Structures are given as structure tokens and as C-alpha cells.
Chains A and B, each alone.
Chain A
């Protein structure tokens, strides 16, 4: 599944788009298609890993070709990931984290999202984990526990699951490595509510978002 996390359908909305336009991607789509077919035809894991790395290499070369710029290591940057531990767990394929200082003595807000924060919750599953804090930078809250608001919608037609206004579930903030661009939120177990008022137990949420 790692393959699809880096090259899946959400990729064109991702950060790589800042370097490569859709037209420029055209030569690479063929490579992805081949990878997809290989997966479907049932190759062994080892074969797949080999092919994947070959294809990723080819993809990088293709990008270099069309851009005429040197290949840099983070041209395919980390996409973040997560999991919502409902009765049937839901995997989050991409994740972002944003820290918003509003200034003038207001609290700041940190938000983890499964969708591009510029585009809003329009891709599914859509997850928003949000906390307000008096900190003025993200680094100040690493390793801290904060009360958080949770919003989750599995698909466009699915119910929005959330907490009542004024209710929170604790989350802890972590960075896997000191300078990593990935910031992890681990949300404790709790109950979310659907619009009918029915409760949905979660045994936790993890979301590791990319901080840009």
C-alpha cells in the first residue's frame, strides 16, 4: 500500500504539484498504470518492491526530464497518514498539519486534516482534528496533551461524526524525529456522535500530518 500512498489518486493535489504541472505529469502516468496492473496480476511482495522502486526511479527520471531540474530527494515528499479506530478502522492516506497563530492575544489553532487545508474537507474520508492553544509556535506544543475537537466523515454521503460543541477528547502531539516534517497527533479513546445523536465509540485516532 506504500505504493499508493505516494502515487495514488490524491497525489496530483499534493505538494508535488507545486513543481510539476498536470501536463508535465503525462509521461509518468503510464508508469503508474503499469504498477497498478502488476499489483492486480498478483506479483510476490519481493517482486513488487523491486518493481516499485524501479518505477519510482523511472518516475523521478521522468520528472527530471520534463522539468530539466535536478532530482531532489523530497520531490516525492511524505504524505502523512493516519487511522480512525472506529469499529471498522478507517485508514487515512494523506494528512496535513497546520498551525495558525491568530495574534492579538487570541489562542492559536493546530489542525490535522486528511485533506488539503487550502481546498477544505472535500475529499473523503475527511478527518479534522483540531485544538486551540495559547502557544505561539507548533514546536511549543510537541509532547503536550491538548483537548481536541474531532470531525470525521467517511464519504460524501456519510454522516458527520463529531463531538458536541464544548466537548473534547485529549490528544498528544509528537514528532517522530526532531526536525521531521511529520507531526503526529494521538487522540485518546472516546465517543463521537452522528447527526441522529447516536454514539460511535473510537478506540483512538492517529494522524501524522505533514507540516509545510
Chain B
């Protein structure tokens, strides 16, 4: 029964998680292609076409070469190979072009297409000795000869286009010749082929050398445009905060956005946090675009150094303080308790996402609000003193219990680093012997996922800083650590436990908590934010780091704390991969204890 539940829930997790994370290879669909971010628009179609070719070629190879059977080629098969022999070299070339477009799938495509070519070769050698082969070779030679004059004309035209800078047209025309030539020459000896190629190879070399620079420049332009579009506007935020705080100071309310919805200080503060979440996701996308763009020669920008990010982070803190301080200036003393408690609720809801510095500054600003009602401020001080030690001891005990559980539930990134190494012919996400910290692909993603699946699925793992993604998604996501993160089904604590917490913290419907720590304890229990969680790995996904960050959805950006971009090794971004687990939760760590969702 439990097993059945596992399978059903696992399906739900995968289904839901895929809603907010674009598809990638996983243990459930190992042949799924790596996600394309499409910053250079033509990348998507090029990648789709390439994936179609390698998928078909791999499927075909599987059909003609059952396991443990020596290769045997009939002429029927030789004829079917015709298409692949042309398309595969083109796919190798397109893979290289995709890499120039900052697409991690480029390397994957080139490598899978090249592998297919290698696997086809033994069949070709065998077929060449067959009795009917001589006749077939004659036909191919005739095809080459007949088409040569027209082809040379086309190649001359292509060279003209190259010289006039019309690279795309030249490349597209050359692609067609590539398919024809390679699908024809595979069965012929090099002596036969050499005199019949004309200017094919030299034109190709000319195209490659002429195309690299403009393509790099073009891609770079696309990245720069995308970055400009994404970059959060600190000045606009600052102006908004000034307008909002002026309005709060004079009327106690302000327009939340450009529409006419009015809100009080806490509502404006919540709006600020929403703006931060959206901007935070944008910063992650900017980091992804910088990594993608960095691949190009000559791009020496260190993507991890973004002075604009610090400006934004500072602006958010100033805005937060301005809103609360404006409220403190205009508020009537009798309104202080409600307002203070509303602010605590708003901050506690987002607490696991926020930077400690931001929280500290916001709490300092809240002290000014408290000063407007000294007797309430006394209550708050007493409440804090009467609850903080309980919270401290419970939190320590929960940490200790979680530490004990970690012997059976190691951290997910530790499991990946120890179990998902390359071993013999099995690809892993770390080389066999290395001190690399961030996972990367060294073979095709599908081969890698197939090799690591038995080593990772069904392991029990723990994760930390689990943040609920909202009622609609029914999932929560854990922090990204060294290229590993996880998603779990939403777990909210049972009401019977929440009541006990409320008793200990002297909280009831009429008496909301008066400290941030106590508010967080209750809010986290109700929303399903957890300090940590542990459970069984039911699925593993490989997500190219560049694509994941370049297309980061707003909700998913919580895998990185607000104000930060993930640290990573910036030398090998193109093949770096995020290893995501879907975990069926066995336990969650709340700041007041460990809970079993069953």
C-alpha cells in the first residue's frame, strides 16, 4: 500500500514539478532532450531538428543491432542508413553552432551524433563486402558525378555569400550539400571520393572560419539584449519606495502598483517582497545569460561579479526601511499592535528566502514603530524574553535530531558527489578521480541518467531550507547546494501539533505571536516551509545549469536565497548540470521539532 502511494505521489511530483521546470532528461524519461533556453531564437528549431535525428538514429541502431549480436548489414539497411549518414554530420556541425549560441545541448548533440556515426561504421564495412555492394557503389559514384557541375555552381554561390557576409544563407545552402555528400560517400573508398568532392571541403572550411566571428557577435548581441531586458531596475524601485512611503506618511496608505489598489504599510511591504521575488528570479536569469555568453571567446566578464546586484540589494533594504519608518511616523499609538503583528506575518511568510541583513534592518525599523506605543513595546519585549529560550532549546534539539537522522539520510549533494561518479564505462556527473565540486556532463545526458539512476533512485536523502511554492503548485523546493537541489510534495504540519506550538508560544486567534521567531514557527508550520527534510529519492533530473538559470521561473528562484546568485565554478559552465531529486518526504524539520508527515 505504501509502495503504491509512493508510486502515485511520485507521479504527482514529477507531473507538478514539470509544470514549473521545463522538461529535461530524468530517470522517468531518460531520452528527453536537455532544455534549450533559446536566447538566440533559431537555437530552438535547430536543437529540435538535431534531437530528432539522433533519436531516430539511436532507435534505428537499436533495431538493427540487437544486444550481443554481431553487426549484420543487409542492403535494405544500407539504404536506410542513407539518411542518417547525411544528417548525422550536419547535426555534429549544428551542435557546434548551438554551443556558440550558449546552448548546453550543443555539446550533447555533437557527441550523440558522432557516437551514432561511429556505431554505424562497422555495418558499412561489413556491407561493403556484400555481393550486391559493387552495384550500389556504382550508383553512388554516378550520383556524385552527375551532381558535381550543379554542386560546384552552388558552392561558388556559397563562397560569394560568405564574401558578402551573408553567412546564414551560405550556411543553410551548405547544409544541404553536406547531407547529400555524406549520405553518398559513406559507402565509397577515399580514393573514389577525393576527385569527386571539388571545392566542397575548402568551401566548408571557409564558411566555418568566416562564420564563427559574426555568429559569436550575433549571439553576444542577443545575450546583451536579454540581459538588458532582465536587469532589475533599482532606480525604479527606489522611486516607487519614495512615492509609497510619502503616501503612507500622509494618508497611512499607498497605491500598491500602477492600478488603484490601495494598501497599508504591511501590504506595501508585502508588495515590496513580491517585487523582490520577481527581481530575484530576473537576477538568476541574468547570471544564466552571463554564463551562456561567457562561452564566447573574448568575453572576459566574470559573471559572478555584478555590482548592479549589490545596488539592487541595498535599494531593497532602504525601501523596506522607508516603508516601515513612514508608517511609524504617521501611525496612531493604538494602531501599533495590529500593524506590528501584520508586519511580522508578512516578513515571517517570506523569512526563509530573505537575507539575514535585510531581516535585521527591517526589525530595526520595526523598533521605531514599537516606540510609538511604549506599553505595547514592553509587552513585546516580555513576550520575546518569555519565548526565545524555548524556541532556542527546541531548535537545538531539532538540529540534533536531524543530525542523527542524517546518518540514514545523507545530504543530497553528498550522495550525488559520492555515488554519481564516472566509473568504467558508466558516465557519472563527476570524473572518477577529481576534486570537482560542481556536477557536469562528460557523456550524453541520457547515457548519464541511465548510469546514475540505479545509484541514486531509492536512496534516502536529506535536504535543507525547504520552501513551499504555494497552494497551486503543491510542491516545495529545497536550496541549491553544489549543483544539487530537490523538490518535494508540500507537507504541512498537523493542526494538533500547531495547537501545541501555539500553547507554548502563548498564541491564539485573538493573540497573534509578538516576535518574528515565534511568528515564523507558526507560519512555517502552516505554510509548509521547513528547516530541512528527509525522504526517499523517487526520481532524478539532469538540468543544464545555463538553461535552468537563463529560464528561471519566478517561483522556482527560491532555490537560491534572495540577494544572491549561486556560486559555481565558472570555467566549465557549458557542461555543468544541476542534479535535481524528487523526494518522498519521510520527515521534516521544523524549528520546534521533527515531524513525520504520516
Residues of A whose CB lies within 8 Å of any CB of B are 98, 100-109, 111, 113, 117, 120-121, 128, 130, 132, 149, 151, 153, 159-160, 162, 165-166, 194-196
Count A-B pairs with CB separation below 8 Å: 84
User: Which listed residue, A102, A111, A151, A195, touches B383 by the CB 8 Å rule?
Assistant: A102
Residues of B within 8 A of A121 (CB): 389, 392-393
Residues of B within 8 A of A107 (CB): 506
Q: What is the minimal beta-carbon distance from A137 to any residue of chain B, in angstroms?
A: 13
Q: Mark B293-334, 1 if CB is under 8 A from A, else 0.
A: 000000000000000000000000000000000000000000
Query: Which of B388, B390, B398, B510 gathers most chain A CB within 10 Å?
Result: B390
Q: How far is the CA of A81 from the CA of B375 in the complex (A)?
A: 33
Residues of A within 8 A of B504 (CB): 149, 165-166
In the complex formed, the residue of A with least CB distance to B388 is A120
Contact indicator A102/B400 (Cβ below 8 Å): no
Can you list 11 A-B contacts with CB-CB less than 8 angstroms, sorted by A residue number? A100-B386, A109-B506, A120-B388, A128-B393, A160-B396, A165-B501, A195-B400, A195-B401, A195-B403, A195-B404, A196-B404
Q: How far is the CA of A194 from the CA of B404 in the complex (A)?
A: 11
Q: What is the minimal beta-carbon distance from A152 to any residue of chain B, in angstroms?
A: 9
A151 in contact with B393 given A196-B401, A196-B404 (CB within 8 Å): yes
Residues of A within 8 A of B398 (CB): 195
Residues of B within 8 A of A111 (CB): 386, 389
User: Which listed residue, A109, A165, A194, touches B592 by the CB 8 Å rule?
Assistant: A165
Contact indicator B394/A162 (Cβ below 8 Å): yes
Contact indicator B389/A104 (Cβ below 8 Å): no
Contact indicator A160/B393 (Cβ below 8 Å): yes
Contact indicator B382/A162 (Cβ below 8 Å): no
Contact indicator A153/B393 (Cβ below 8 Å): yes
Residues of A within 8 A of B394 (CB): 151, 162, 165
B503 interface contact, C-beta 8 A: yes
Residues of A within 8 A of B511 (CB): 104-106
Instruction: Decide if the interface of chain A is mainly helix, strand, loop or mixed.
Output: loop
User: Which listed residue, B383, B386, B389, B397, touches A120 by the CB 8 Å rule?
Assistant: B389
Q: How far is the CA of A104 from the CA of B501 in the complex (A)?
A: 19
Q: How far is the CA of A128 from the CA of B404 in the complex (A)?
A: 24
User: Which listed residue, A117, A159, A194, touches B389 by the CB 8 Å rule?
Assistant: A117
Residues of B within 8 A of A108 (CB): 386
A159 in contact with B393 given A100-B383, A165-B504, A165-B592 (CB within 8 Å): no
Q: What is the minimal beta-carbon distance from B373 to any residue of chain A, in angstroms?
A: 12
User: Which listed residue, B375, B396, B593, touches A165 by the CB 8 Å rule?
Assistant: B593
Contact indicator B383/A165 (Cβ below 8 Å): no
In the complex formed, the residue of B with least CB distance to A193 is B397
Contact indicator A165/B500 (Cβ below 8 Å): yes
Contact indicator A166/B382 (Cβ below 8 Å): no
Q: What is the minimal beta-carbon distance from A8 to any residue of chain B, in angstroms?
A: 23
Known A128-B389, A160-B397; further 6 A-B contacts with Cβ < 8 A: A103-B375, A104-B511, A121-B392, A130-B390, A195-B397, A196-B401
Contact indicator A162/B379 (Cβ below 8 Å): no
Contact indicator A132/B506 (Cβ below 8 Å): yes
B514 interface contact, C-beta 8 A: yes
B570 interface contact, C-beta 8 A: no
Residues of B within 8 A of A165 (CB): 394, 497, 500-501, 504, 592-593
Q: How far is the CA of A159 from the CA of B398 in the complex (A)?
A: 10
Contact indicator A159/B383 (Cβ below 8 Å): no
A109 in contact with B400 given A132-B506, A162-B393 (CB within 8 Å): no
Q: How far is the CA of A146 from the CA of B391 in the complex (A)?
A: 20
B385 interface contact, C-beta 8 A: yes
Q: How far is the CA of A104 from the CA of B376 in the complex (A)?
A: 9
Q: Mark B583-598, 1 if CB is under 8 A from A, else 0.
A: 0000000001100000
A149 in contact with B401 given A98-B385, A105-B510, A106-B506 (CB within 8 Å): no
Q: How far is the CA of A98 from the CA of B386 in the complex (A)?
A: 9
Taking CB atoms and an 8 Å cut-off, the chain B residues in 467-506 that contact chain A are 497, 500-501, 503-504, 506
Q: What is the minimal beta-carbon distance from B114 to any residue of chain A, in angstroms?
A: 54
Query: Which of B386, B400, B504 gathers most chain A CB within 10 Å?
Result: B386
